[in-house]
Each structure stands twice: as C-alpha cells, then as structure tokens.
A = this chain, B = another copy of it.
Amino acid sequence: MNPFEFSVQHESDTARAGRFATPHGVVDTPAFMAVGTLATVKSLDPIDLREMGAQMILGNAYHLHLRPGDELIRDFGGLHRFMGWDGPILTDSGGFQVFSLEGLRTVSEDGVEFRSHIDGSKHVFTPESVMQIERNLGADVIMQFDHVIPGQSDEATARDASERSVRWLARCLAELERLQAGGPPPKNTITNFPALPGTTFPLPAPSHPQALFPIVQGGIHDALRIDAARRIRELGDWPGFGIGGLSVGEAKPDMYRILEVVDGELPRDRPRYLMGVGFPEDLVEAVRRGVDLFDCVAPTRMGRNGAAFTSDGRLNIKRAEFRTDPRPLDEACDCSACRRFSRAYVRHLFTSDEILGLRLLSLHNVHFLVRLMRDARDAIRAGTLDAWSRDWLTRYHIRPVPTA
C-alpha cells in the first residue's frame, strides 16, 4: 500500500479534486496549507487549525535547524509531537530562505555556505544535510533542496539553477534512501527527566515514511520549465511535484502561463504543489490550471497588518470607515471570528495593538483560504469549476485570466 497514494476523484477541465494520503491522514485537494515556519502557525493554536478544517500545514527546515534545532525536535519525537499537530505536515527545505540571504552566502556545486540571520554563525546546507534535517523533523512530505534564483533572472541563470536543482534532487534521493536504510537513529540525549504523562522518554525519533517532492524551476521560460519537468521525471516516479520560482515578482499572466505549461508536463495522477502561493485570486486561477496544494504566509502576515480577505475583495480593518461597522469581517464567512465579532471590535483591537486582533484576523484569513479550497472542491465535483471561479473572481474584483 502506497502511503502517499494520490487519486483524482473528479475533474472539471484541467482542475481536479483529489485525495492525497499521508502517514498522518488524508488530504482532500485542492487544499491550502497554513505556514508554520517555526513550529507554529503565527498566533494560532493547532486547535484553531483543526476547528477551521485545516488539513495540512508547513514547516521550514532552515528556520527549525537554527531554532530550536532539528536534533532537539527529533529527540522530542519529531515536529508533529513537538508542536502538537498530529495531521499531515510538509517541510520546505529552506532553499528559498538560504538563497534570500544575499551577501551572507556562497553557492557552489556542493551546496550553500551561509551565515545565520539570527546570530551570524556559519552553516552549510547540502542536499545531503538538508535531507538529514528533514528526516529529523519527520514531516510527511519533504521538499528537495534546490537552487533558488531571483524572479527576474535571465534564461542563462535560470537554466544553470534549474539544472543544478535536478542534480541536487538526485543527491537528495540518494541520501534519503541511505538514511531510510540506515540503522537506528542516534541515542536520544533527553533521558534525565520524569516522563510526561502518557509518554516515555527517550521518545523514538520519527520513523514513518516520508515523500520527497522535487521542485520544478525554470523561471518564466517555458522551454526551461518543460526541460526541468522532463529531467525530473527521468530520475524517478515521484510521489508529487513542487512548482517553485513563481509569485516572486513576475507578471500574473506569466505565472498563469507557466502553470499551464507545467500542468501539461507533469503526470496527472500526482499532486502538484505551487509553492508560496498565495492570495485568494492566485489560488483560484491555479486550481483552474491543475494545482492541488498551496502554501503562503499572506493570510497570517497580512492579517497581522490588518488585511482581511473577504468575498468582496480585501479590506484593511484599520481604516476609519470600519470604526462603527457592526458587520463581521466577511458576511459570507462562518469562521470563529465572523460568527462573534464586529469589524468595529476587530478594528478597536488593532488600533489598541491588542494581540487578539492579530489572532482573529489570522484565523479568519487562514479559514478563508481553507474554505475557498473547500468550495473549489465542491465546484469541481459538480463540474462547475469554470463558472464558479469566474463568478468568484468577479465578486472579488479581479478580472479572470482566460486559460489557454
């Protein structure tokens, strides 16, 4: 039995509604994954996530390696146990973070040497070391370590990085297989405390299967994207695919076109994960183009700045017009915030720098995207995804972008 079985249940044009199995539960797709970079989805409790129907979340290997350390998390039985979320988790390798450090890093064929953004200490990430980190964390889906480049890179730079990423993918796979075939994990050093009720220390390191997803790069160059997809597929029968290097400053029509290109190059019976995307309209357009999984910090980061997603577009709750507004953030929303609080109250919280304001907006925004994907699944099952998405985008004040 394939622990990462993916089955497409319904199709509506190029959109799909599917089921993705993992060792920690099944995910109905398309699905939005809230970002829990540092073992917490900022301001939210795992209970909040469960209650809103969030199915899967994301952690980050770069950040967790630095703080609190992947070995510590391993000794606590892995990321699921450490952070109190027992559903599916995906970890990003940290490629994006490492390559964003600019002057603090040096790239070679071997890997990347960089300085921590926290304390300036030197670190080296290679495909092999990142696999070790991600194995220690014990997520269900782990992303390859890839060479990330700026969004406006020329074709030569994009080609170089894309081809390196494929070479690094092969090294990731080899290391992962080596680790999985290897002996028991290192001895847990945490043995000198009384056991937590119901647990026995030392806790076993995570040992469930993990799915390695490659990442298709290539910028906004169609030929590079096609080439990358084909090279990646030659290396193996991957359980799923990441689509990287989009929503990094390119024009929306370019992003959507690349999704159509990639959709044609990836197997239909594997989940496609569009990394770092995105705003509600991006999710809708990408679902139309065959994407199954998403992640983005926008709902929580923008939420902490007062931005709320609503059915009628985005609003900023700090605006004076909301001072006496008795309506919920979004009248069509059934989240815990919209069922109980007025815009006036949430605005008051923001004006007063109250933490509950950050919680409520983050909760609402994540719920909004989770629910948006649920509605998309319903529309796909009903065969009405195209009409639903056009109506949705129109109401949200975005002109739909025609598919090819």
Flag the segment in A169-177, A244-252, A256-264, A323-331 that touches B. Answer: A323-331
Q: Once the chains are docked, how many angstroms separate the CA of A43 from the CA of B190?
A: 32
The minimal Cβ–Cβ distance linking A244 to chain B, given in whole angstroms, is: 25
Is A44 in contact with chain B by the CB < 8 A criterion?
Answer: yes
Candidates B40, B323, B331; contact of A349 at CB < 8 Å: B40
Q: Once the chains are docked, how many angstroms separate the CA of A360 from the CA of B83?
A: 12
Binary B-proximity of A66-91 (CB < 8 A = 1, otherwise 0): 01100010011000001110000000
User: Chain copies in the assembly?
Assistant: 2
A-side binding surface: helix, strand, loop or mixed? loop
Are B84 and A344 neighbours in the complex by a CB distance under 8 Å? no
> Contacts of A301 on B, CB cut-off 8 Å?
none
The minimal Cβ–Cβ distance linking A201 to chain B, given in whole angstroms, is: 6
The minimal Cβ–Cβ distance linking A27 to chain B, given in whole angstroms, is: 23
User: Quick one: which of A129-175 are within 8 Å of B by CB?
Assistant: none
Are A43 and B326 neighbours in the complex by a CB distance under 8 Å? no
The minimal Cβ–Cβ distance linking A301 to chain B, given in whole angstroms, is: 12
> Contacts of A328 on B, CB cut-off 8 Å?
196
The minimal Cβ–Cβ distance linking A392 to chain B, given in whole angstroms, is: 22
Minimal Cβ-Cβ distance residue in B for A72: B324
Candidates B43, B203, B325, B327; contact of A355 at CB < 8 Å: B43
Are A344 and B68 neighbours in the complex by a CB distance under 8 Å? yes
Q: Once the chains are docked, how many angstroms separate the CA of A348 from the CA of B39?
A: 9
Candidates B46, B67, B76, B326; contact of A196 at CB < 8 Å: B326
> Contacts of A84 on B, CB cut-off 8 Å?
340-341, 345
Are B193 and A351 neighbours in the complex by a CB distance under 8 Å? no
Is A342 in contact with chain B by the CB < 8 A criterion?
Answer: yes
The minimal Cβ–Cβ distance linking A154 to chain B, given in whole angstroms, is: 37
Candidates B45, B72, B189, B194; contact of A356 at CB < 8 Å: B45
Is A352 in contact with chain B by the CB < 8 A criterion?
Answer: yes
Is A359 in contact with chain B by the CB < 8 A criterion?
Answer: yes
> Contacts of A324 on B, CB cut-off 8 Å?
72, 75, 189-190
Minimal Cβ-Cβ distance residue in B for A67: B352
Are B354 and A359 neighbours in the complex by a CB distance under 8 Å? no
Are A355 and B354 neighbours in the complex by a CB distance under 8 Å? no
> Contacts of A340 on B, CB cut-off 8 Å?
46, 84
Are A193 and B325 neighbours in the complex by a CB distance under 8 Å? yes
User: Quick one: which of A50-72 are within 8 Å of B by CB?
Assistant: 67-68, 72
Are A359 and B43 neighbours in the complex by a CB distance under 8 Å? yes
> Contacts of A68 on B, CB cut-off 8 Å?
323, 344, 347-348, 351
Is A381 in contact with chain B by the CB < 8 A criterion?
Answer: no
Are A194 and B40 neighbours in the complex by a CB distance under 8 Å? no
Q: Once the chains are docked, how many angstroms separate the CA of A324 from the CA of B46?
A: 21
The minimal Cβ–Cβ distance linking A137 to chain B, given in whole angstroms, is: 13
Minimal Cβ-Cβ distance residue in B for A42: B355
Is A38 in contact with chain B by the CB < 8 A criterion?
Answer: yes
The minimal Cβ–Cβ distance linking A76 to chain B, given in whole angstroms, is: 7
Beyond A40-B356, A194-B327, list 8 extra A-B contacts (CB 8 Å).
A42-B355, A67-B351, A67-B352, A72-B323, A76-B345, A84-B340, A196-B327, A203-B326
Q: Can you give 7 A-B contacts (C-beta < 8 A)? A: A42-B355, A45-B356, A47-B336, A67-B351, A76-B326, A84-B340, A196-B328
6 smallest A-B Cβ distances: which pairs? Answer: A43-B355, A68-B348, A40-B356, A84-B340, A38-B352, A40-B354
